[in-house]
Amino acid sequence: MPASFRLPDPLPFAALIGPLAAAEEALARLDECLARSPIRAGWIARSHFSDAAASLWLDGELVRLEDLVLHDARMDVRAPSHELARAHGVLRARRRIAAVKPGWALGEAGLDSLRGRGGEAAATWPGDAEPTALDNAQTWEEELAAIDAVVARSERLLRADPELRRDPEGDGEGERLALWRARLAETESLPPLLAAAYAGQAWEALAPLKRMAWLGRLMVPAVLQARGKTPAHLACLASGLRSLPRASREGGAAARTWLEAIAAAAVQGLKDHDRWLAAREGLERKLAGRRSTSKLPALIEFVLATPLASAGMIAGELGITPRAAQDLVAELGLREVTGRGRYRAWGFF
């Protein structure tokens, strides 16, 4: 029996008004706070990592935040697992959606690009033009260009040979995506948060991408971004869903659950912001009396932008030796989080 989804008619406003009001208030407070915050860039960078790990957790796969950060920095201490590769895919997708103009991810071209069907356009995915501080830019871009060139050649072959283009499983992925976008269009008259909630519910009901179910958890923040509700950040829906009771997520999350997840993510985001801002101010007190050429201010901003940092990552970012990086870490008094004697990493929380 094919999956289907219809917007309820009439909408159950009596059941939704409470969660909707709570989500509206929490989300507005967080976005306004971030719009004026001196640590907005660091908050966003950290939230991408934590939400990517939370998204895999919702799928029943545990990815350590430490491993994800080191993998993103191309400094793995062990062979990357399948789960880690998937988490990194979520991380890259979040960065791309956050980097482009609102609404890109919801269009046909954006969805094709996010699911690796963008053909030659994939070589210029939004967000890749501005590598993050964790990227080894030159090597990273060269490898991505080589991968995208292979994808582009494959797409040309598929277009040239209809037999190759046939879906051997007959799963109707394209049709389900088109149906989801049709349901999304039906939400245009709804308030932004309700539209986002029903977009998430429709994605779960239709399951358009069986191999990339996690992409639906990025479509909800993308709707909020497109409707102008979160101009200062990309909502961390997976983190919000993770904080809800398991029973509310089972059997297909209802619109009320999505609203509760949005509210929970925003509330946690505000708490994290205040905690990280206080930690930053505490670290900056240690800058008193330092020379203007000191690397400590740059180190503070770097450790704010990542959940943890290794000596190699710090050395690459600041242009110093790993030994000098460890000396700077000791001066700041950062906490070692791995408990190892080698391949150590530090951070503040």
Residue-level pLDDT at 269: 96
Q: Which residues contact 69 (CB under 8 A, 6 or more apart)?
A: 49, 134, 306, 307, 308, 309, 345
Comparison of pLDDT for 78 and 311, the residue scoring more? 311
**What is the percentage of the chain residues whose pLDDT exceeds 90?**
46
pLDDT band at 349 (very low <50, low <70, confident <90, very high): low
What percent of the chain stands above pLDDT 70? Answer: 81
**Residue whose tokens read 């991968």:** 147
Question: What pLDDT was estimated at residue 150?
Answer: 55
Q: What integer is the mean pLDDT of 85-96?
A: 95
Answer yes or no: is pLDDT of 194 > 90. Answer: yes
Q: Using 50, 70 and 90 to split pLDDT, how confident is the model at 140? A: very low
Q: How many CA atoms lie less than 13 Å away from 257 in the CB half-sphere? A: 21
Average pLDDT of the residues in 88-116? 92
CA distance 239 to 49: 10
153 pLDDT more than 90: no
Q: Look at the chain and count its residues.
A: 349
Q: Check whether the bond before 10 is cis (ω within 30° of 0).
A: yes
Domains of the chain (ranges; CATH) run: 39-269 (no CATH), 289-347 (1.10.10)
pLDDT-based confidence at residue 195 (cuts at 50, 70, 90): very high
Question: What does the pLDDT read at residue 234?
Answer: 96
Spell out the residues 6+ positions from residue 330 whose beta carbon is closer than 8 angstroms to its own: none
In the chain, the largest separation of any two C-alpha atoms, in whole Å, equals: 71
Tell me: the pLDDT tens digits for 27-50? 999 999 999 999 999 999 999 999
What per-residue confidence (pLDDT) applies to 171?
Answer: 63
For 237-281, write each residue's pLDDT tens digit.
999 999 998 877 775 568 899 999 999 999 999 999 999 999 888
| pLDDT score of 132 | 39
Q: In this predicted model, what pLDDT tens digit does every residue of 52-79 receive, in sequence order?
A: 999 999 999 999 888 898 888 887 877 8
| 167 pLDDT higher than 70 | no
pLDDT digits (tens, 9 = 90+) for 321-340: 989 998 998 888 888 877 76
Out of 102-111, 192-201, 303-312, which region has the weakest mean confidence (pLDDT)? 303-312
Q: 317 Cβ partners below 8 Å, 6+ apart?
A: 133, 298, 302, 309
pLDDT band at 147 (very low <50, low <70, confident <90, very high): low
